[in-house]
Amino acid sequence: MSENKPVVLVTGASGFVGRHVVPALMRAGWSVRRAVRNPEGLADEVVIETIGPDTDWQAALDGVDAVVHLAARVHHKHEEHAVQLYRDVNIAGTLHLARGAAAAGARQFIFISTVLVHGSSNEGRPPCTENDVLTPRGLYGMSKAAAEAGLKMLARDCAMKISVIRPPLVYGPGAKGNFASLRRAVELGLPLPFAAIRNQRAFLAVQNLSSFMLRRLADLDSASNFEIFLVADGEQVSTPEFIQRLARASGKTPRLFSVPPELLDSLLGLAGRQDSRDSLIGSLELNVSKAIATGWRPKVSLDEGLRLALSAQDA
């Protein structure tokens, strides 16, 4: 304990999500211990150079009440040659940390998985639910699904409560990947060929992800030691609607034009951009009723989340 505050270890604390989660935890009364690879000279840091099956977590876990595990291997430019890396970090590394946390007496373990354990699209199917049969795509999605399965088995034999959160695309100040690319395109006024797309997709403001984590950490009375949650913003919108809302938040006029979806699908396929195809023109709807049933509500709206993402402020 620190000043009688509960202690939480946050892995990946210096990453995009971690830089928002840590302040939210501190505001909520937690004493945060940051697990980082590259220290910044902060008093609450503990250096963990690599995450894997042999990582020494003893000092980091000493006296902790909870663990929020954000760190993961997300992308590798030569993914087909990185199978063991994904296994070591995302599967073995996660389970090794969770076992260590349970042995250290932690009461809760929050694991950030991904909606990609459901695949990259639910085209033609109902919105995804926590009880769906998983169809993960790519090494990242498959490694997260395997880690979830391992955590479920671990929860049967320990008192620590484990919560798995499966977020869709998370956006906010400092977000990278698809959101950063879309933001740049809108700000540069580039023409975007998505006006004819009629999909529906879930998105998640980093503030809403943080608030749901806090909700789970406050719930010590759950009857189950293992729970899975899908979490998303209050609105799930089409790709062109998201671009329009993003443009409005940035004070720009979106330059959307129509290309028949079938042609756009073929062009992206020929370019070897299947992932972009799924994330831009495919649907990915989530049923978040289980998260709502906990009493949680999104902290910010889609429009407010986009405004905050562009103004580089936190809510």
Please state the φ and ψ torsions of residue 18, each to the nearest 5 degrees: -60, -35
Q: In this structure, what token pair is assigned to residue 88?
A: 């070591």
- Residue in the block written with tokens 């042609």: 263
Q: Are 86 and 139 in contact (CB under 8 A)?
A: yes
Q: Name the maximum alpha-carbon separation found in the chain.
A: 61
The Cα 98–Cα 159 span in angstroms is 12
Catalytic residue among 30, 57, 140, 242: 140
Q: In this structure, what token pair is assigned to residue 201?
A: 């997709």
Phi-psi region of 138 (alpha: psi -120 to 50; beta: other; left: phi over 0): left
Q: Are 42 and 34 in contact (CB under 8 A)?
A: yes
> Is residue 171 annotated as part of the catalytic site, yes or no?
no
Closest listed residue to residue 41, CA positions, set 23, 14, 65: 14
The Cα 62–Cα 75 span in angstroms is 31
> Taking the CB of residue 116, how many other CB atoms lie within 10 A of it?
24
The Cα 308–Cα 206 span in angstroms is 10
DSSP single-letter state for residue 134 = P
Closest listed residue to residue 162, CA positions, set 216, 124, 230: 216
Q: Are strands 66-69 and 108-112 parallel, antiparallel or unpaired?
A: parallel
Q: Which residues are catalytically annotated?
A: 140
